Structure 1
Amino acid sequence: MQVQKFGIEALDNMLGGGLRSGRPYIISGNSGTGKTVLALRFLYEGLKMGEKCLYIATDKPPHSTITSISDSFGWDLLSLNVMDAVPTPSLYSTVYPVRDVTAKGEIREISEMSKNVEKGELTMESIILKLELEYKEKFYHRVVVDSFTTLKRFGVEEERRNPVMAKFFRFFVEKGSTVVLTVEGNIQKIRPELILSSGAIHLKREVQDMEEKRKIAVLKMRGSFFDPIEREFIIDKNGISIRKVKSK
């Protein structure tokens, strides 16, 4: 089966070679653990391979996020397609050479697509409608939803949340796209997402010997072998690197 890599050798090895194409995956962890950086590293690797990649931003304006990460790590994300789904007045600059799929004439504002959606409010279902229009024109090999935790709060009654979540995950499976969704919280709080996903990477920060360290672990990779051993990882000007496990 075809795999899609992060371009971080140690992580790809932990995943058994990479992510299996056409499946949904989650990157979980508390705020500030590096979820967005890792997710965009996945898209950056796809762009280098000549793949079509889509970044769906629901938490922070994508322009500021992409600019910051491009400047910090030297990643060329200029050919990345972007959907600004942030439920606030957008700070997205159309001058920036990242193409915003929401600006296309045939993809309307969310408020025009459903009478049940208040102006400026988004739902998983209304975003699926926008994506259906976009997929009529092109196929995306890699998609990142950042953050899915924010998205699942949009206009979905609690009793309907899990079925709608399942529909959202299934959309990408049916299209054949590999989707990575960032999820906020610890393992106990993300049970539905963990069940729906084909694989999960968990990030955390902890203090050891008066020093804060970042940790990464693969929790799940359905249908393939993976390395579950937790490792320390570093985010610096060179990007993301994972340290070897110390011998006991």
Structure 2
Amino acid sequence: MKRISTGVEGLDKMLNGGLIPGRAYLIKGGPGAGKTTLAMQFLMEGTKKGEKCLYITFEEPISTLKEDMSKFGFDLDHPNIKLVDATPVGEKKTIFADVLYEEFATSFEKLTRAISEELNAENYSRIVIDPLTMIRLTIIDELEYRRTFMAFLKTISKYKATIILTSELRDSDIEEYLVSGVIELRSIEERGKTLRGIKITKFRGSTFDEEIRPYKITDKGIEVYHQEVLFHGV
């Protein structure tokens, strides 16, 4: 079965060769765990291979994102990557130009239409939506959120792109149920030091490494040590 690289060699090893293309995956983790960094490495790997990539942020403004990611050597001005600022204070110069954040925050359908129009205009093979947390917090009713998220995922999945969604929410049962894979970034404090572990909790269509493996956020991005085991109670 064909695989595509996440941009992190150790994680690809855990995934038995990489992600299965054309499916949706969820990256979970607390603040500072490296969700955005991992998602961006996934996109940077795509640009190296000449793929068109789309990144939509609901939390961090593009200007801040570029500054933070430049520390890892990630060129977000690459012609093969498009960045969309959907934050409450974003400048909205791209596909959300005439849509207020408050409008699509309470109407997931508007967001879906805006993304669909962009996907119809350009053939993206890799898409990141970072994070889902901001959207879920705007839809109070649980049943309404489930309905709209299912419709949203169904719509963007038909474009056959590989999709990564990020989330800080611990309670993400509907997201985990619908996506093809879940990768968790965990961290604990041990004697004043932060220990980080990565675990794959779901990966449809393939075997995978079920151990918790150590990872670090380095000056080149995330590195996963797939031959080591984290025993520290993570």
Structure 2 length-normalised TM: 0.89
Counterpart position of 1:136: 120
Q: Is the 8 A contact 2:214 2:229 kept in 1?
A: no
The answer to whether the aligner puts 1:110 opposite 2:99 as a matched pair is yes
Instruction: Supply the RMSD in Å over aligned alpha carbons.
Output: 2.2
SS at 2:158's partner residue? helix
* 2-structure distance, mates of 1:57, 1:178: 17
Alpha-carbon spacing, 1:121–1:166, altered in 2? closer, same or farther (3 Å): closer
Counterpart position of 2:48: 48
Alpha-carbon spacing, 1:172–1:35, altered in 2? closer, same or farther (3 Å): same
Counterpart position of 1:85: 86
The answer to whether the aligner puts 1:36 opposite 2:36 as a matched pair is yes
The runs of 5 or more residues in structure 2 that have no matched partner are: none
What displacement does 1:209 show?
4.0
CA deviation vs aligned residue, 1:212-231 (integer Å, no higher than 9, x gap):
11111111100111101101
Counterpart position of 1:124: 108
Q: Is the 8 A contact 1:28 1:35 kept in 2?
A: yes
Counterpart position of 1:228: 210
* 2-structure distance, mates of 1:20, 1:226: 12
* 1-structure distance, mates of 2:202, 2:188: 21
* 1-structure distance, mates of 2:61, 2:145: 25
Counterpart position of 1:245: 228
The answer to whether the aligner puts 1:72 opposite 2:65 as a matched pair is no
Alpha-carbon spacing, 1:50–1:206, altered in 2? closer, same or farther (3 Å): same
Query: What percentage of residue pairs aligned between the two structures are identical?
Result: 32
* 1-structure distance, mates of 2:129, 2:72: 21
* 1-structure distance, mates of 2:218, 2:176: 29
- Moved segments of 4+, more than 6 Å: none
The answer to whether the aligner puts 1:159 opposite 2:143 as a matched pair is yes
* 1-structure distance, mates of 2:91, 2:195: 33
Structure 1 length-normalised TM: 0.84
